[in-house]
Structure 1
């Protein structure tokens, strides 16, 4: 942890940044990070603000290009996976935005406020300096693997009749998904899926003491981007699944919404392949049972 002389808390934010620049061992993102925590002088509030704002900016910022694509079918319709269906209307998009904002403020914001105490309890670090990129990348790769496994079995369970009707039915309102619908889910499902995202960093931090908040925020951002792209309804020649053979992406998850069962994983394809739950024509070609 880097020690800096704390200036008077009556000074403006830019003055805190100037003080942070006195330590030349810090990168400019680390200087801004230190200034943010110092100016608020309340770690719970500082963590909550940066986490919630990052979540909102990344979610709606990444959804915006897909909304533009939906509004310009003459250009992008040829890339739509379910090209026999029209893109969502402006009314559909607005209805989705209102519901998701309610979920974000009513369900996710209280959990974000509670995150800092949980983070301290599990020994996560949050002050400068940031972790080395190699450690950050290795931990995020592990989080992707663990979350994908959790998501597969939870998602498969949510398609069991009683759980589907009580929890998961909301998310399947759109048989042809679009970017904004990535987090269109019931409060219970939002909470359950959120555990798969946040518990791996907390558990690893508790065991090793080497997880940093910046790693958690990066992981959460990448997980958001993955979920939004998987629900986008578009498959481009440069889509990630064409570069990584076991990556699911929109082409994979769209079949889950179209055929209702199968393709339960979030990021990768191997769980569905191993467990015989590949959806649609690809599943039939592999001899998989479409009722699973």
Structure 2
């Protein structure tokens, strides 16, 4: 193979015309690195940094443009440059000191679990079904783990750091205590690992795309903006920024990450409107119970 990445890519593009462009680029990367552990580690780390900060950047720009304030969920609070900078430094420390080591040890685990790095990739239909499964499982884990972090000492010593900003902004998505980063991060990486263990049929490209989707979801949920074109207006069970912003504002409720069904089903929705509806349901339940009791006494 050629000694440069561009040269390697040129050879791959010439010799493997049946592959898609993405598959050719993927193969070029692994052929050029000639070290799968290093290739996977760099791929995951760089993908995480580029996607996370690349998705945060538009929100940082939007925060500086008054035109967009009409869609700010908490319009009286705009993060200052100092707050953005302090948050950025903390997130970078977390990325290099907490998340980097597991990323660099990921490839040996892939080999043991049979997670493929070869081309061609699985079909998009298969990958999309796996994305849906991972979203549902991650949301389940996030709800219960997040709810636990709001209990007593877990909140005081761990989760309180994430709640430093009652009005979140994009960068705060991964502004958290190392214990929380690892615990909630299990929902993103742990379930694909478990899936691979049982199926022996998962591709690293699928995991890479899934992590990108999860990063987009997390950053957007912390953006602090609810636009008319935000996804939850078209997919009612999607959570989004409007859902998670209430959690930061009231410090309780709305524990799920991607979907609304856990908070709705388990009656942990946040905000005054949800509280009013909850009280109304309790009132109706008590009235029904009282009517049934009076009816029973009357029949006796």
Instruction: Mark yes or no: TM-score above 0.5.
Output: yes
User: How many Å apart are 1:288 and its aligned residue?
Assistant: 6.2
Whole-angstrom CA distance in 1 between matches of 2:213 and 2:132: 11
Residue 19 of structure 1: CA displacement?
2.1
Following superposition, the deviation at residue 131 of structure 1 comes to 0.9
Choose between structure 1 and 2: higher helix proportion.
2
Q: Show CA shifts across 1:66-98 (max 9, x none).
A: 1011111x2111110012x22100000011111
Partner of 1:43: 36
Which of the numbers 155, 167, 180 marks the counterpart of 1:189? 180
SS at match of 1:247: coil
Q: Find the partner of 1:78 among 54, 66, 70.
A: 70
Q: Report if aligned partners of 1:278, 1:288 keep a CA contact under 8 Å in 2.
A: no
The two structures have a TM-score, normalised by structure 2, of 0.91
Q: Give the C-alpha shift of residue 24 in structure 1.
A: 1.4
C-alpha deviations, 1:131-160, integer Å up to 9, x for none?
A: 100000000000000000000000000000
Moved more, 93-102 or 277-286: 277-286
Query: Hey, what's the Cα distance between the residues in 2 that align with 1:209 and 1:49?
Result: 24
Note the aligned Cα RMSD (angstroms). 1.2
Check if 1:165 corresponds to 2:156.
yes
1:55 lines up with 2:43 in the alignment = no
Q: TM-score, normalised by structure 1?
A: 0.93
- Equivalences for residues 1-292 of structure 1 within 5 A: 7=1, 11-21=3-13, 22-72=15-65, 74-83=66-75, 85-287=76-278
Q: Please list the CA deviations of residues 201-252 of structure 1 after superposition, one character each: whole Å capped at 9, or x if unmatched.
A: 1111111122111110111001000010000000000000101000010000
**Which residue pairs with 2:283 in the alignment?**
none
Q: Structure 1: which 5+ residue stretches go unaligned?
A: 1-6
Moved over 4 A (4+): none
User: What SS does structure 1 have at the residue aligned with 2:121?
Assistant: coil
Count of aligned pairs: 279
| Aligned mates of 1:122, 1:170 — CA distance in 2 | 35
Structure of larger gyration radius: 2
Q: Unmatched 5+ residue regions in structure 2?
A: 281-300
Indicate how the Cα distance of structure 1 residues 285 and 240 shifts in structure 2: closer, same or farther if over 3 A, else same.
same
> 1:11, 1:114 → 2: CA distance?
26
